[in-house]
């Protein structure tokens, strides 16, 4: 009797091990199908080409701050320079990184250096480029399609004027009846 119980326990362990080994492939497929949500990471100040075009030499620091916003980096060792850096990291898309440096001389804008900035419209278009655009259905009917819907006027007696239609007293149900 003791031998039979041990044999049954050992057999159960072997069957359980075989079942778990068979599930490993299924578990691997499930974990591959379920992916974590990855967020878009936006860091810094987005500077558009319109904002850069609004900068004019001779503007004060506050005027530049009003146009571009607070700089991301203002060095203690280089008080005559503000750094504007923008980085956008999105899953499945190359990292976008742009930099603009604003130089001051005697607390007025001297010059700017950096990457060419996109316009606001170009930037918004680059954000939506990852999203699949739905296909727009054709909204123009052909002549053959229009001919199917042409109503032909009924011949009415000339002396009788058409009577106004009575309001409906019964309306069809909005939803199907439960089964």
Mean pLDDT confidence for 164-173:
74
* In the chain, alpha helices (H): 2-33, 49-54, 61-68, 120-127, 143-148
Q: How many domains does the chain have?
A: 1
Looking at the predicted structure, is the pLDDT value of residue 171 above 80?
no
- CA 161 vs CA 155, 165, 167: distances in Å: 12, 12, 18
What distance lies between CA 75 and its chain's CA centroid? 35
Give the pLDDT confidence score for residue 58 in this predicted structure.
Answer: 92
CB atoms within 10 A of CB 35: 8
Would the pLDDT of 27 be above 70?
no
Q: Is residue 78 part of a domain?
A: yes
62 belongs to a structural domain: yes
pTM of the model: 0.51
Nearest to 97 by CA among 83, 109, 110: 83
Is 3 part of a structural domain of the chain?
A: no
CATH number for the domain spanning 109: value is 3.30.1450.10
Q: Comparing 40 with 166, which gets the higher pLDDT? A: 40
- Tell me how far apart the alpha carbons of residues 62 and 82 are, in angstroms, rounded to a whole number: 12
pLDDT above 80 for 107: yes
**How confident is the prediction for the chain on average, in pLDDT?**
78
50-72 average pLDDT score: 91
Structural tokens at position 112: 């700017």
Structural domain for 108, as ranges: 41-127
Q: Which of 4, 2, 22 is nearest to 12 (CA)?
A: 4
* Average pLDDT for 110-129: 85
Confidence of residue 101 (pLDDT cuts 50, 70, 90): very high
Which pLDDT band holds residue 155 (cuts at 50, 70, 90)? low
């Amino acid at each position: 009797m003791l031998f039979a119980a041990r044999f049954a326990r050992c057999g159960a362990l072997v069957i359980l091990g075989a079942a778990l080994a068979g599930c490993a492939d299924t578990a691997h497929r499930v974990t591959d199908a379920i992916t974590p949500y990855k967020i878009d990471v936006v860091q810094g100040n987005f500077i558009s080409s319109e904002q850069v075009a609004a900068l004019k030499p001779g503007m004060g620091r506050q005027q530049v701050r009003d146009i571009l916003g607070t700089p991301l980096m203002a060095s203690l060792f280089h008080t005559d320079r503000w750094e504007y850096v923008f980085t956008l990291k999105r899953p499945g898309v190359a990292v976008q990184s742009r930099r603009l440096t604003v130089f001051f001389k005697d607390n007025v804008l001297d010059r700017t250096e950096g990457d060419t900035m996109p316009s606001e419209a170009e930037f918004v278009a680059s954000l939506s480029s990852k999203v699949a655009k739905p296909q727009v259905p054709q909204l123009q009917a052909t002549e053959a399609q229009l001919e199917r819907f042409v109503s032909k006027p009924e011949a009415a007696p000339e002396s009788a004027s058409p009577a106004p239609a009575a309001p409906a007293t019964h309306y069809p149900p909005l939803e199907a009846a439960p089964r």
